[in-house]
Amino acid sequence: MKDLKYHIITLGCQMNHSDSERMSGVLEKHGMNCADEEQNADVVIINACSVRQKAIDRIWGKLKELDKLKQTRPNRPLYTALTGCVLPSDRPLFAAKFDLWFPMKDLLKLPVMMEKILKMPPKTQVKTSTKKAQLPTVKELKSDRQIEYSKKDDDTQTKSGKPLNPISQIPGAEEHYLQAMPKYSNKFSAFVPIMTGCNAFCTYCAVPYTRGREVSRKPEEIITEVESLISRKYKEITLLGQIVNKYMVKADDSLISFIDNTLKKHGKTREDIPELTDETLCTHKWFKFHHLLAVINAIQGDFWLRFTSSHPKWFSDELIETIVRSDKIPAHVHLPVQAGSNAVLKKMLRPYTIEEYLQIIRKIRNRIPGVSVTTDCIVGFCGETDEEYAQTEALFKEAKYDMAFIASYSPRPGTKAEQTLDDNVPAEVKKQREKDLNEILRQTALAYNQTYLDKDVRVLVTHANDRGIFGRTGTNKNVKLKTDDNKPEELIGNFIQIKISEATPWSLAGRIV
């Protein structure tokens, strides 16, 4: 593998982005180098997303492109690999077409898998022009790529009983892939996963089927990774989890000792931090999400601490108070609602009512000065009536979001909704509802952004291009910087103060103070 080049194509969410960084770290530790373009790579790896059909369609399209690339390089083999969030129903289809399919949980075994695959000729003549052509033949699934393999490594198998993951038992399977050292793609902003998987099984969601059950990462690993980033002057740390605020591990004496030593390094004790003297930690010995935030907030340094994505059921009063007390956590809360109708929420298996959700929003706004609140919402879920959609409009008008990510429902194979509910809301109705909801959002977002006019705000400068220099506020507002500075690279990755002079629904603009 030494001196070979890899290229990773990442689809989907921030968790996939973080996973790709860990993949890069594993590959480079074993001698591979990153290729800036797939044309220059020996191995192209797609980190997949199954949240929407469009992402799956992109994979099939990319496979066709890669096959053409293989045919133009007869003297330099090109291998393809697939990992990430892939639905069980898609796995046999993809396994027949890619040179390697592996679940992300097997990341630490990837170098050994790669060595075995690289000894074989790459697959060619992939036909992906039709849905029928996507179906693998029995011959393909029984090919010589089905190397000796242990069932315990992956319970996804073909009808013949052959597992899809072509790899034998490899030492290290007991290690969790999040232990891999990432190669961070950004020099000042980092994603730090604290858990993976999900037990919620919302009826529309594929995550439990693609990532498996919840696993919370050890606090010692998380805190050590964050300390390392801060020591390297990182300015923004984002904790990741499918339900990030559900994070929880048992607090044994070893963890308590680790926390005490960590706080001592930063001039603190548990007695200085209310979260770390509460009954949950000290008596019942549970280390929860708000405890983790409190410890990281105590780390010395100038940085922002963010987290995503939260779930209303676990957005506790303790978490709100921790945000209030933490000087490193900016005034921004992302709290997905998904629908404004209790009937729709029930069909989605979202375990809260709109009344309970709005009560949390009111607490957040009352306790956190200047907070911005953002959300996720699905329109046109199975059987959603005009009246039920109208309740979502009413919610948006009452919650007055700063920003929302609105999507039309599309069924995912294998989910409860796809199996038991009818996707019977016409596409044109979904599109209109999405448009109408975005109009309500545009009005509330503009009203909030106009309150920033003539105010000085702190901004983290994130990037520059031919359209200008851009950054982000603590409240997660996009900002364009007005400056005469002809060296924007000196600003990127730094905090600056700017005075806001322009406001649109989706962004701000201002000049450096």
400 dihedral zone (left: phi>0; alpha: psi -120 to 50; beta):
left
Class of domain 456-512: mainly beta
User: Which pLDDT tens digit goes with each residue over 270-279?
Assistant: 999 999 998 9
pLDDT computed for residue 299 by the predictor = 98
Look at residue 137 and tell me whether its pLDDT is greater than 60: no
Q: Which of 174, 2, 5 is nearest to 73 (CA)?
A: 5
Q: Work out the percent of the chain whose per-residue pLDDT is above 90.
A: 79
User: Which pLDDT tens digit goes with each residue over 343-399?
Assistant: 999 999 999 999 999 999 999 999 999 999 999 999 999 999 999 999 999 999 999
Query: Taking the CB of residue 421, how many other CB atoms lie within 10 A of it?
Result: 18
pLDDT confidence of 51, banded at 50, 70, 90?
Answer: confident
User: Which pLDDT tens digit goes with each residue over 10-30?
Assistant: 999 999 999 999 999 999 999
Give me the mean pLDDT over the 221-238 stretch.
Answer: 98
- Quote the strand ranges of 309-436, DSSP E: 332-334, 372-379, 403-408
Q: What average pLDDT is seen over the chain?
A: 89
Distance CA 273, CA 293 (A): 11
Distance CA 323, CA 345 (A): 27
Is domain 188-330 classified as CATH 3.30.750.210? yes
Give me the mean pLDDT over the 166-179 stretch.
Answer: 54
Q: Are strands 332-334 and 372-379 parallel, antiparallel or unpaired?
A: parallel
Q: Which two tokens stand for residue 88?
A: 């069980």
Whether a cis peptide bond, with omega within 30° of 0, leads into 507 is: no
pLDDT confidence of 50, banded at 50, 70, 90?
Answer: confident
pLDDT computed for residue 344 by the predictor = 98
- Quote the strand ranges of 4-114, DSSP E: 5-10, 33-34, 43-48, 79-84, 100-101
Q: Which of 214, 197, 153 is nearest to 19 (CA)?
A: 197
Look at residue 151 and tell me whether its pLDDT is greater than 60: no
CA distances from 347 to 38, 194, 352, 392, 463 (A): 42, 29, 12, 15, 42
Amino acid at 494: N
Domain definitions of the chain by residue range: 5-153, 188-330, 363-450, 456-512
Distance CA 44, CA 78 (A): 8
Specify the CATH number of the domain 363-450.
3.30.750.200
Distance CA 115, CA 113 (A): 5
Class of domain 5-153: alpha beta
Are both 363-450 and 456-512 of the same fold? Answer: no
